Amino acid sequence: MPTRENQELTQTMSEHPEDDPALLEALDTVIDGYGSEKGVLIPALQSAQNLYGFLPEKVLKHISKKLNIPYSEVAGVVTFYSYFSTVPRGKYLVRVCLGTACYVRGGKEVLAAIKDYLGIDVGETTQDRKFSLEIGRCFGACSLAPVIMVNDTVHQRVKPERLKELLAPYENDEVEANEGSGEETTGGSV
């Protein structure tokens, strides 16, 4: 997940951060620090995502060339881990748990309702870059299923018909990107 710093950076960044030479230089410096040993691809991708907020195609191609790793292999790693994202993330990342407990207690319906409400699919971001939608595994709150997380805040016993209310504070920017809402249990890192 994006950290507090880069979340803010992403907010203030231009539409096309991948065209910013300063960011690319910063990335190269980090990668150069890793030396040339095997296994630098994943750390390099992590650094890139921290810098850019996501992994733009141009940056991935740059990494492929710089590390001399075939582009298809780079893409294979990026698409394997749901941690990596090739599309810009929204200010709020909504993650719907589809672990067993949540799944049987209506997680699927919650997901369908969120997709419907936000008008995006899993892995996508709303036009206004406010929300991204992803699926999560267990958040460790099974007894209170179904559960969703919005950034670091866990929302429990979510009901599809009350989604609008739940998301309203985010929609109206009443919640800071990295602040828990206070009313809900805050989950640990996932």
Q: Which stretch binds another protein (CB under 8 A): 2-10, 27-35, 67-75, 100-108?
A: 67-75
Task: Pick the piece of the chain touching another protein (CB under 8 A) from 20-28, 59-67, 108-116, 134-142.
Answer: 59-67
Residue with tokens 């960011």: 23
Q: Which is nearer to another protein, 74 or 145 (CB)?
A: 74
Compute the distance between CA of residue 148 and CA of residue 157 in angstroms, rounded to an integer: 9
Selected range binding another protein among 34-42, 70-78, 129-137, 182-190, rule: CB under 8 A: 70-78
Residue 75 in contact with another protein, rule: CB under 8 A: yes
69 binds another protein, rule: CB under 8 A = yes
Shortest separation between residue 70's beta carbon and another protein, angstroms: 3
Nearer to another protein by Cβ, of 107 and 175: the residue is: 107
Q: Does residue number 73 form part of the binding site for another protein (CB under 8 A)?
A: yes
Applying CB under 8 A, does 101 fall inside the site for another protein? Answer: no
Contact 100, 139 (CB under 8 A): no
Question: What is the CB neighbour count within 10 angstroms for residue 153?
Answer: 20
- Residues 64, 126, 178, 185: which binds another protein (CB under 8 A)? 64
Residue 31 half-sphere exposure toward CB, CA atoms < 13 A: 26
Q: Are strands 148-150 and 92-97 parallel, antiparallel or unpaired?
A: antiparallel
Q: Which amino acid is at 125?
A: T
If the CB atoms of residues 16 and 80 are measured against another protein, the closer one turns out to be 80
Q: In what order do the strands lie in the sheet with 148-150?
A: 131-136, 92-97, 148-150, 153-155
Interatomic CA distance for residues 53 and 166, integer angstroms: 25
CA distance 78 to 123: 13
Residue 65 is a binding residue for another protein (CB under 8 A): yes
For residue 105, the one-letter residue type is R
Binding flag, residue 185, another protein (CB under 8 A): no
Query: What residues line the site for another protein (CB under 8 A)?
Result: 61, 64-65, 69-76, 79-80, 86
